[in-house]
Structure 1
Amino acid sequence: MISTEGLNEAKVRISNHLHVTPMLSSQTLNEETGKRVHIKAEHLQKTGAFKIRGAINRVTLAKEAGAKHLLVASSGNHGQAVAYIARTLGLPATIIVPEDAIPTKVNAIHHYGANIIYYGTTSKERIAHAEALENKMNVVIIPPYDDYEIIAGQGTIGLEILSQVQQPSAIVVPIGGGGLIAGIASAVKMINPAIKVIGVEPEEANGTFLSREAGKHVAIQASTSIADGLRSSTPGELTFPIIEKLVDDIVLVSENDIREAFTFYLSRMKQVVEPSGAVTLAALRAGKINHENGDVVLVASGGNVNVRVLEEYIV
């Protein structure tokens, strides 16, 4: 589990490199759902996603321990984050991305100066390839989610949420490999165990939902969900026990639910929130979030989209 000390150390370690992202609101959304809704705008974070938090925390410690070259397996956002902070700290980085990676994310990784390797289509394949290259390349692997320092970095979002919204009744979080929700749940439940933490997965990428139902890790086949950042094959070895203990519920959303949420963000709020970040709004608008009366916080986890194919995300 993540300690209070670990969260506070991560907050101090990463604070000079980050934005404190704002809370957004929409009167239309409040009226439509009958709830007071706050959107934690991590899509406005540096590198366009929450991943920079864990990356800064882990890479800073890796450099202090003597790392000379970083290796990452990532669908895009984590790769961007590590590439960014590696350049900032003067370290070379190599990023393994899926063969069907979104070009916008790959271009950003290239812009930050990292080397790029295309390999496979699932997180399991990429992670295995990174492990195979670790000794050959004399690198330090920076995991995308299954690492306590990564989880602690993501958990700083929970600390920020509770400084911005007084006593929310529920915080709704996307689930990929589980680092984001494990971190947020750790922070929130330490401060106020009564706040519900609810995870959201696409129906077509529901590895954590199935694992929770089975009480053990369940691996799914490669997904084609438009929420590309949530296509993890199975939850992490470290993240899953935290999710089991601290997350109150996990709900699923359809591809059409995600498209409708993406379209709402774009057309009504003038925000570009990638499909992976829009799943929380999708769950709320689809009536999947049941909680006591009070404020609801939706984590909009990223905003990196391929603008050339926006029509695929719009209804």
Structure 2
Amino acid sequence: MDAPRPRLPPGRHGVAGHRLTVDGVRAVGDSGVAAEGSGVGWHDRGMTELVGLDDVRAARELLAGVTRTTPLEPSRPLSAALGGPTWLKCENVQRAGSYKVRGAYVRISRLSAAERERGVVAASAGNHAQGVALAAGLVGTHATVFMPVNAPLPKVAATKGYGAQVELAGNTVDESLVAAHTYAERTGAVLIHPFDHPDVIAGQGTVALEILEQCPEVKTIITGVGGGGLISGMAVAAKALRPDVRIIGVQAAGAAAFPPSLVAGEPVRLPVFSTIADGIAVGRPGEITFNHVRKLVDEIVTVSEEDISRALLMLLERGKQVVEPAGAVGVAALLAGVVEVETPVVAVLSGGNIDPLLMLRVIEHGLAAAGRYLRVTVRCSDRPGQLASLLSQIAEHRANVVDVEHQRANPHLSLGEVEVALSVETRGVEHSDTLISALRASGYQVVFAAEA
């Protein structure tokens, strides 16, 4: 077998031939699923079966009064782009800022009294950490959370704010997870996996139950995918109740472990991975989630960092939604056109826990990706009035100069030459191209003109 590529180009990576009909789901359910509403969890059974609809419904009963039924908001820009009704499932306004509290609470609430006494431990860069911290406090047990040393400070502070003890260990979530395993073995604390446990999958599946009630006519549900817990649970519920609904997963191209895993027929670890969507930056699918995705999910597609940035910008500007990069990948796939969908469509905004400093960078990146933000370096003669003339010409084209840096010390400059670095806001790609062409036509040497 060829070694998996660390990065996949944005696009479609289908899982055709890996679908399970509603009859198949029911057959699994009939072979050992606890009675509906019984509250019996997977800790009382083996973990080789698929989660069933009854499991998701039982999880919903546990979550009553704990989690919010998050709103389903219409998106006019997406509806116009897709030619049909498109809705946003706003898990970014869920308690603790993401869907993660659903699975965490179901898992922790089913622990025995002895297990609760020992406490729980988790590893996460943010959302799972906050979900576990909140859920543990609600259940009445102590949580220790291992986070990467470079975890965003706001997420670390929020996790502590929910009552968890935070330990910084490792440079990645995988390394933090190793530390969490070691801690669990040493102390007896129960490890709460971020995605690869049936109770967690069942809890996340309650998102789909809400979607089907809020939009009974839905034809396509699209969501981001990291380890696969959310899409696995949603696929279980949706395919059992509406086998015609298409379930589409989206991964960041720089951290797409599912496509090569589906090709290989087993979970494959990426040798390297990197993306701004840290919430779905997972190097290897879970064993349990992989089985669910392979059998229930219709398609997996990937999107670029630029696609994600554009989606975040659109959600902020047009939808007034604060969403983290991982929470916007479904919208990114729709905007980028990397997947064919039948409307009505529901895109899940899975989380809103974004570091403010990252938001600033993403907004700038999104503006650049949309052709609305340029960094232009211009060489001109070092004479009085030249800078004013340059800025005047930019103003004539109704572009907005955000920042100016004027320097003569560049050793590559000729005597009598000056370099002016400009950050310019424009109306789009066409406006940017027109501006650069006009500067060159006026005799300015545009040494570097690129979208930031």
TM-score by length of 1: 0.96
Q: Which residue of 2 aligns with 1:221?
A: 271
Amino acid at match of 1:44: V
Give the aligned partner of residue 38 of structure 1: 87
Task: Name the counterpart of 2:340.
Answer: 290
The structure that has the greater radius of gyration is 2
Q: Indicate conservation of the 8 Å contact 2:251/2:301, yes or no.
A: yes
Highest RCO, 1 vs 2 (Cα 8 Å, sep ≥ 6): 1
Cα offsets for 1:78-129 (capped at 9, x unmatched):
1101101212222111001122212221111011121111222333322222
Gapped regions of structure 2 (runs ≥ 5): 1-49, 367-452
* Number of the residue aligned with 1:54: 103
Question: Secondary structure at 2:287's aligned position in 1?
Answer: coil
2-side partners of 1:106 and 1:10: how far apart?
A: 28
Whether 2:360 is the aligned partner of 1:311: answer yes
Tell me how far apart the structure 2 counterparts of residues 147 and 271 of structure 1 sit (CA, whole Å): 30
The residue number in structure 2 matching 1:146 is 196
Q: 1:25 deviation in Å? A: 1.3
Partner residue in 2 for 1:11: 60
Counterpart for residue 173 of structure 1: 223
1:253 corresponds to: 303
1:112-168: CA deviation from partner (whole Å, max 9, x where unpaired): 121111222333322222222212122111110000000000000011110011221
Which of 305, 318, 330 is the equivalent residue of 1:280? 330
Q: Is the 8 Å Cα contact of residues 201 and 209 (structure 1) preserved in structure 2? A: no
Q: Which of 288, 313, 319 is equivalent to 1:263?
A: 313
**For the aligned residues, what is the CA RMSD?**
1.3
Counterpart Cα distance in 2 of 1:24 and 1:65 = 42
Return the alpha-carbon distance in structure 2 between the equivalents of residues 24 and 95 of structure 1: 33
Contact 2:115 2:189 in 1 (8 A): no
Matched, 1:80 2:130: yes
Which of 209, 224, 231 is the equivalent residue of 2:281?
A: 231
In the alignment, structure 1 residue 161 sits paired with structure 2 residue 211: yes
Q: How many residues align?
A: 314
Q: Matched residue of 1:146: which SS?
A: coil
Counterpart CA distance in 2 for 1:288 and 1:268 is: 21
Identity among equivalent pairs (%) = 39
Q: Which amino acid aligns with 1:13?
A: L
- How far the C-alpha of 1:29 sits from its partner, in A, is 2.3
CA distance in 1, matches of 2:312, 2:162: 27
Equivalent residue number for residue 174 of structure 2: 124
Hey, what's the Cα distance between the residues in 2 that align with 1:64 and 1:9? Answer: 20
Q: Any idea what the Cα deviations from partners look like across 1:158-186, whole Å, max 9, x if unmatched?
A: 11110011221110011011000000001
Q: CA deviation at 1:223?
A: 2.9
Structure 1 counterpart SS, 2:194: coil
* 1:90 aligns to 2:140 (yes or no): yes
SS of 1:62's partner is coil
AA matched with 2:159: I
Q: Secondary structure at the match of 2:223?
A: strand
Distance 1:286 1:313 in 2: 17
Quote the offset at 1:63 in angstroms: 4.8
- For 1:251, what is the secondary structure of its paired residue? strand
User: Is the deviation greater in 180-189 or in 114-123?
Assistant: 114-123
In structure 2, relative to structure 1, the CA distance for the partners of 1:130 and 1:100 (3 Å cut) is: same
**Larger proportion of helix:** 1
Offset of residue 64 of structure 1: 4.7
Moved more, 154-163 or 67-76: 67-76
Question: Does the CA-based 8 Å contact 2:115-2:190 persist in structure 1?
Answer: no
For 1:222 and 1:49, locate their aligned partners in 2 and report how far apart those are by CA, in whole Å: 26
Contact 1:167–1:195 under 8 Å retained in 2: no
Tell me the distance in 1 between the aligned counterparts of 2:216 and 2:140: 39
Equivalent position SS for 1:226 = coil
User: Which has the larger displacement, 34-43 or 124-133?
Assistant: 124-133
1:100 paired with 2:150, answer yes
- Rounded to whole Å, the distance in 1 between the matches of 2:115 and 2:249 is 36
- Aligned partner of 1:284: which letter? L
Amino acid at match of 1:194: D
- TM, length-normalised to structure 2: 0.68
Write the distance in 1 (CA, Å) between the matches of 2:203 and 2:258: 21
Instruction: Give the C-alpha shift of residue 287 in structure 1.
Output: 0.3
CA–CA distance in structure 1, aligned partners of residues 173 and 263 of structure 2: 21
Could you say what secondary structure the match of 1:313 adopts?
Answer: helix
SS in 2 for 1:150: helix
Measure how far apart 1:298 and its partner are.
Answer: 0.2
Unaligned runs of 5+ in 1: none
Q: Distance in 1 between the 2:71 and 2:171 partners?
A: 33
Is contact 1:30–1:37 with CA below 8 Å preserved after alignment? yes
